[in-house]
Amino acid sequence: MTDSETSRDGNTVPRTPPDAFFPEESGDGAKESTIAAIATAPGEAGIAIVRLSGPKAGALALAQFTPFSGTKETISPRTFRLGVFQDGTGQPLDQVLFVLFAAPRSYTGEEVAELHCHGGTLAAKLVLAELFTLGARPAEPGEFTRRAFLNGRIDLAQAEAVLSVIRARSDAALRAGVRTLQGRFSSRLRPLHDSILRLSGLLEASLDFPEEELPECTNEGVLRELSALSEALSRIYERSRQGNLLREGVRVALVGRPNVGKSSLLNAFLQESRAIVTAVPGTTRDIIEEVLTHKGVPLRLLDTAGIRTPEGPVEALGIDRANRAFEEADIRLWVVDGSEPLTREDEELASRLAPRPHLVAINKADLPLRTGPEEIRTLLWESTIVVLSAERGEGIEELKDALVRLWGNDASDDEAHNVSSRQVEELRLALDALSAAKGALSSGLGQDAAATAIAEARGCLERILGLSWDDALLDTIFSRFCIGK
């Protein structure tokens, strides 16, 4: 097969894609197409990396590459070679570094080649276009990582951790992401999965052969095991929930009557903080969201439009959203105007706050206080209360500390698992299923019902680890990745 052909007038004519660079190592992967994408962020930068993966990765990348020293044939894996990359007409596109990872010792487990171009958008784009002409296929979002999972290089929890490392907005989230990437989360979860598997097997055997009377399979024995499993799993769940908050940010909804100073407080927060990460445009017209990081914890502050009785259809819509923010927030920050007495509206709000994680900020402390901590305690006797003045910027630091503390003292806890919301939800479902199994056994529903619930728990863990999956699940996970990852 020829490498490439160019017509005399310089136009590219259809070229036959080259053979694999290391044909003997391509193995089964030959069935897969070779994908290519720019792996670095767009824009001016030092370098831009074009990455290829698949049986022809090396051959395609080398087709138009001429090393400055030696020949292509002398290139060995994992060694950078400087050279020039040309288009189909022989025009140099860029001076690039070429490196090859032979299968299976690569990110994806397939043959992987990288062309390190100069940063900026054009060179890498033209190199990529040339690779497409040669027969590479544009990679889908997350397809490199998806292939790494499918080829058994990483499990699904690790694949998702790649995203949490990329997206980390705080030191703590990053550390937790890297730990998950290194397999810490999976290695905690796998023994629990094994125990559930064993328990399932035992129960099923005892149901199939009731006359055998397996000694470990008494209701008491199974209950004991289930309790131990639940306990271990809920520890992982708690750490994952915390890690997930580190990743997604703690959603703090500012609630309270109009004019108590919610917007002023938000401004005070942001003015004081030198650590503003991003200003996320509100998802709705009525809710402003700002993100700041305090002590390594991203706090997502939601200024709700005010939760009260609507006075018109437009306001009703805003209040609807405010109510949703109130329900979905991790912490509700109730702002009270300390210069005024409490009202009926405040009492109603307090009763809604009582059962949910919340914190009380008594604002306008620069004025004579008519509502202090004692008055708040008559409504919410257990709450954390911070007295402050948004206008003077007093008490803001204390409030931020209180928010971080309320969320969990372990912000920098080196045990937090940075996992996705999907994984947290699967863990929660697994815990529910285990308690359903316990319920079935202790209420006399029997081992049959328990076995079904235990199988459910097993399914949850398998979907987290990627021991069982379908294309739809993978599509959901990897569509959140960027192209080139």
Footprint on this chain of ligand GDP (rule: CB under 6 A): 258-264, 363-364, 366-367, 389-391
How far apart CA 299 and CA 407 sit, in angstroms, is 10
Nearest to ligand GDP of 136, 390 (CB atom): 390
Under DSSP, the state recorded for 170 is S
Nearest to ligand GDP of 170, 304 (CB atom): 304
Nearest distance in Å: CB 310, ligand GDP: 16
Pair of tokens at residue 360 = 């009380």
How far apart CA 219 and CA 442 sit, in angstroms, is 8
Among 127, 139, 130, 106, smallest CA distance to 35 is for 139
Nearest to ligand GDP of 218, 263 (CB atom): 263
| Terminal Cα-to-Cα distance of the chain (whole angstroms) | 31
Nearest to ligand GDP of 125, 352 (CB atom): 352
Three-state secondary-structure class, residue 382: coil
Nearest distance in Å: CB 280, ligand GDP: 19
Nearest distance in Å: CB 268, ligand GDP: 8
Nearest to ligand GDP of 191, 258 (CB atom): 258
Answer for the pair 106, 53: CB distance below 8 angstroms, yes or no. Answer: yes
Cβ neighbours around 117 below 10 Å, total = 25
Among 47, 13, 20, smallest CA distance to 110 is for 20
How far apart CA 20 and CA 100 sit, in angstroms, is 12
Among 254, 249, 275, 257, smallest CA distance to 265 is for 254
Nearest to ligand GDP of 254, 460 (CB atom): 254
Backbone CA torsion sign across 129, 130, 132, 133 = positive
Nearest distance in Å: CB 273, ligand GDP: 17
Nearest distance in Å: CB 400, ligand GDP: 16
Answer for the pair 426, 460: CB distance below 8 angstroms, yes or no. Answer: yes
Nearest distance in Å: CB 365, ligand GDP: 7
Under DSSP, the state recorded for 447 is H
Nearest distance in Å: CB 319, ligand GDP: 14
